[in-house]
Structure 1
Amino acid sequence: MFKLGMPSWIEPAPSRPGEKGQGSFSADQWRTFCTINLPFTLVQLWGSLPYINFMHLITAVCLANMRVMTEACIRSFEYHMWVYLEELIDLNPHTRITTYQHMSLHFGNLLRRFGPVKSWQCFAFEHLNYTIRKFPTNSRFGMCTSLLFHGAISYFRL
């Protein structure tokens, strides 16, 4: 067994994903878990064919998140996403494509129209939602959630 060393600027994934008490992943933790941790683990668990299929998905995600977008990157993204979904059905014949998986086939058009995802993602809102979820509200809209909501509105008016 080996210990995977990562640069300090990468937020580490939870040490025991899927176990009770780990909480929900942040977007950075999902990215680290899927693009760094899982490729090292899954090749040992799955063997080559399912692993190659998973790598098509990871390649598509990495291409979609590039800071500079070219037509060649978009075409490569579309290729890897298409191959991933086709092989997913071949590997798991009873699997049905979900709405989100279908929508991913149209993501190349968004990249063509709007450019790199970094320029049009809603990071500030995602971060705010992550912060708000940390406050104990007992699932009721009351003083605490109301103050957070109004504070968020004033924050984005700056």
Structure 2
Amino acid sequence: MRSTVQREIQEAVAAYEDKPRDQWLFDYPAQVGLTGSQVWWATDVGIAFARMEEGFDSALKDYNKKQITQLNSLIHMLLGDLTPGDRQKIMTICTIDVHARDVVASLITQKVTNGQAFAWLSQLRHRWDEETKHCYVNICDAQFQFSYEYLGNTNRLVITPLTDRYMCSICS
């Protein structure tokens, strides 16, 4: 079971840019799509920071606009006809995407310009390591290998500043 989840996440992360995200999500089970989305969120923010260092001052704002477009697309999908499983998957991804959008908006407001700022490092960030073929979860200076345990297609708690502070206090 764990090796299947790992293999599916690897495939999903590799295929993410092959088609629009709102179509890509239907190619994978909920947990895989959610994890792949989180990997690509952290990757895209890292790319935006790299572009800012190259002189593209609006890179994070541009990415925030992309996030809003992606979120609006998912919301539009929720207004349509979906299977119960797909509806749950899209609602869960929307929950995570709203938090991701708010994090990026906060980085913009705080004028964060690089990926070494605490405001970014204190976020729960997923990443795929192509060399080891594993997903890792980072927060602050802690790194954990993803366990690939089956979580199913379940609700996620809404992420608030309080839950963010709790996660950050675990690292301290």
Q: Structure 1-normalised TM-score?
A: 0.30
Pick the structure with more strand per residue: 2
Mark the structure with the bigger radius of gyration.
Answer: 1
